[in-house]
Amino acid sequence: MDGTPLIRLADVSKVYHLESGDFTALRHISLDINEGEFVALMGPSGSGKSTLMNQLGILDIPSAGEIFIAGRNIAQMTNLERTHMRRDVIGYVFQKFYLIPLLSAYENVEYPLILKYKKRDASGRAAAVLKSVGFDEEMSAHRPNQLSGGQQQRVAIARALVNDPKIILCDEPTGNLDRKTGFQIMDILADLHKKGKTVILVTHDPKIAEYAHRTIQLEDGRVVES
């Protein structure tokens, strides 16, 4: 690490222009997240957590201010560069898993590798990552609808990890799971953090937030605690 934060938000605001008028979802947010941090984003509904996650996941660009990820200003990148950064630098884990229903568990994990290397995975990386999240190898050929919620989330984590991203973004990763399975998933994320990944998760659950080493509290689009 050279002291530069992995993620830097400088006076970031996000305004949505709605028919009913402008709605400001983020207000002048400035924060740094260093490589290797485990951060929990918390706050009530409508506080701007999801909007902030979308900014961090480069799914959107701010209305004002600047966001730097791995040293690059995302507003100055082309669409294609942003797409490649999502593919190579960021791993996204969603609350609803969002596996591709037409692909098997193994193919879901292999998919980002194919996007990156433009060929099928012959290195065994997809299988190895699936194994690392405790996913039963025999289940690899199953389609998402044949898997339990916990199994689907493991596959989703494996998919997020397979291109060895620096940042893992988790949007309420345990929200659709029972408590026991939720903690199992959090154990996997904690383990990834130990291995040097930067993990940022959105949660409502203080118990889940306890896994993080830093909590950023949002309220009405502002950071009230960091």
Partner 1 sequence: MKGIFFNLSVRSVRLNFLRSLLASIGIVIGVVAISSMGMLGTNMQLLVKDQLTTGINIIMVTPDVVMAEPGSSVSSSNGITDIQLREIRDAAGVNDVIPIDKGSTQFSIGSNDGRGSIYGLDPDDIRSIMNVSEGTTIRGESDAIVGATIASRFDIKIGTRIKIGEPNISVTRPVVRVAGILPAAGLSSSNGINTDNAIIVSDTWYTSQFGEGNLYDQVNIYLKDVSTLTEVEDAIDKKVNRNKEVVRISDSSSRITSVSSTLSSLTTFIMAIGSISLLVAATSIFNVMMMSVSERVQEIGVLLSIGTETGEVRRMFLYEAFILGIIGAGIGGIMSVIIGYSVVSAMIGNTAYFFLPESIVYIPVGMIVGMIVCIISGLYPAWHASNMDPIDALRSE
State the nearest-atom distance from the C-beta of 4 to partner 1, in Å. Answer: 24
Amino acid identity at 146? Q
Residue with tokens 């996913």: 135
CA max distance for the chain: 53
**CA nearest to 6, candidates 81, 83, 85:** 85
State the nearest-atom distance from the C-beta of 157 to partner 1, in Å. Answer: 13
Which tokens in the block code for residue 75? 């507003």
State the nearest-atom distance from the C-beta of 84 to partner 1, in Å. Answer: 7
The secondary structure of residue 123, as a DSSP letter, is S
Which residues are 22's β-sheet partners? Answer: 17
State the nearest-atom distance from the C-beta of 145 to partner 1, in Å. Answer: 11
**CA nearest to 12, candidates 189, 223, 165, 215:** 223
**CA nearest to 121, candidates 83, 82, 81, 158:** 158
Residues of the shown chain interacting with partner 1 in the complex, contacts defined by CB under 8 A: 54, 57, 59-60, 79-80, 83-84, 86-88, 92, 94, 98-103, 107, 111-112, 114-116, 118-120, 159-160, 163
State the nearest-atom distance from the C-beta of 111 to partner 1, in Å. Answer: 6
All residues at 6 or more sequence positions from 66 whose CB lies less than 8 Å from its CB, including other chains: 8, 9, 10, 11, 12, 73, 75
Residue with tokens 């609808």: 145
Run of H or E residues at 73: strand 72-73
State the nearest-atom distance from the C-beta of 103 to partner 1, in Å. Answer: 7
State the nearest-atom distance from the C-beta of 68 to partner 1, in Å. Answer: 19
Which tokens in the block code for residue 202? 């959105």
Dihedral of CA atoms 117, 118, 121, 123 in degrees, nearest 10, equals -40
Decide whether 118 or 180 has the Cβ nearer to partner 1.
Answer: 118
State whether residue 26 is helix, strand or coil.
strand
